[in-house]
């Protein structure tokens, strides 16, 4: 990996991220539409393995033979599913940034992004206080080919790292603080471990408004899941191919 020691939000940080598929956007890069449902996938896999239709129906929980053009295409060996419009727009923006070498938004930061950068030191200090760990500020981390990257808010020893969020949306705060549901950052956490090669990653949700009740920081340590990472890497390589193709289309045609 390549570690760029730059403050988040700085011109160097924005420049380092230009054209890079970042861990915070992995969940977007993996968004697809028109894919097989879990039940359909079980049926298709069963048929492909040589199982007869009736047995495959039973394995997938179908009472009648499923009729779906998506299933038919999958059984015919065709690729099913397409990237969502949001994923395509993200890929197109990355293609432009690759060509120009600069962020498409010229480094523009929303209020939420700026607030997050400002609160990060407080979140890190509170995390250290609660966990008893020392979190060393990191910077922006790239894979060796500079295709993928993550903004590591901190490294913990040689085996872990940390990322701090400062969401203001009550719905998101509710999911973390009340439902203990951090699924929306799972791709980012596993992505950071994939890029850095580390074994765990701490995700912290910092909300200074809850300091009065001592709940200003919700945090959880995610352990590395190599099966999940392998599946994610496969999806991300497919997304990279989309970015590559869009970049090629934007290049001038050879005479």
Residue partners of 140: CB distance under 8 A and separation at least 6 = 3, 4, 6, 8, 13, 16, 17, 149, 150, 151, 152
The Cα–Cα gap between 2 and 144 comes to 6
Q: Identify the pLDDT of residue 254.
A: 61
- Beta strands 154-156; 160-165: pairing state: antiparallel
Spans of all domains in the chain: 2-30+84-249, 35-80
Work out the burial of residue 111: count CB atoms within 10 Å of its CB; fewer than 13 is exposed, 13-18 middle, 19 or more buried. exposed
CATH of segment(s) 2-30+84-249: 3.90.320.10
Q: Are 157 and 135 in contact (CB under 8 A)?
A: no
**Tens of pLDDT, residue by residue, the chain (255 residues):** 898 988 887 888 889 999 999 999 999 999 988 777 888 888 888 888 888 888 988 998 998 888 888 888 888 887 777 899 999 999 999 999 999 999 887 666 677 777 877 888 999 999 999 999 999 988 899 999 999 999 988 999 999 999 998 888 889 889 988 998 888 899 999 999 999 999 999 999 999 999 999 999 999 999 999 999 999 999 999 999 999 999 999 988 766
């Amino acid at each position: 990996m390549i570690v760029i020691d730059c403050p988040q939000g700085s011109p160097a940080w924005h420049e380092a991220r230009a054209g890079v598929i970042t861990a915070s956007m992995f969940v977007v890069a993996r968004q697809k539409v028109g894919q097989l449902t879990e039940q359909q996938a079980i049926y298709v896999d069963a048929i492909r393995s040589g199982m007869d239709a009736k047995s495959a129906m039973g394995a997938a929980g179908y009472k009648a033979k499923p009729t779906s053009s998506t299933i038919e295409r999958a059984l015919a060996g065709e690729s099913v599913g397409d990237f969502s419009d949001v994923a395509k727009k993200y890929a197109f923006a990355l293609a432009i940034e690759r060509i120009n070498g600069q962020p498409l938004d010229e480094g523009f930061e929303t209020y939420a992004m700026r607030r997050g950068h400002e609160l990060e030191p407080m979140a890190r200090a509170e995390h250290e206080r609660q966990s008893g760990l020392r979190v060393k500020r990191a910077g922006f981390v790239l894979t060796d080919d500079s295709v993928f990257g993550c903004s590591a808010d901190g490294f913990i020893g040689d085996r872990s790292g940390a990322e701090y969020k400062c969401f203001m949306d009550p719905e998101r705060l509710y999911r973390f603080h009340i439902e203990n549901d951090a699924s929306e950052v799972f791709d980012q956490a596993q992505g950071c471990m994939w890029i850095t090669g580390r074994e765990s990653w701490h995700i912290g949700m910092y909300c200074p408004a809850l300091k009065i009740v001592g709940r200003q920081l919700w945090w959880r340590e995610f352990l590395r899941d190599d099966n999940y990472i392998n599946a994610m890497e496969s999806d991300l390589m497919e997304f990279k191919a989309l970015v590559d193709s869009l970049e090629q289309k934007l290049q001038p045609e050879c005479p």
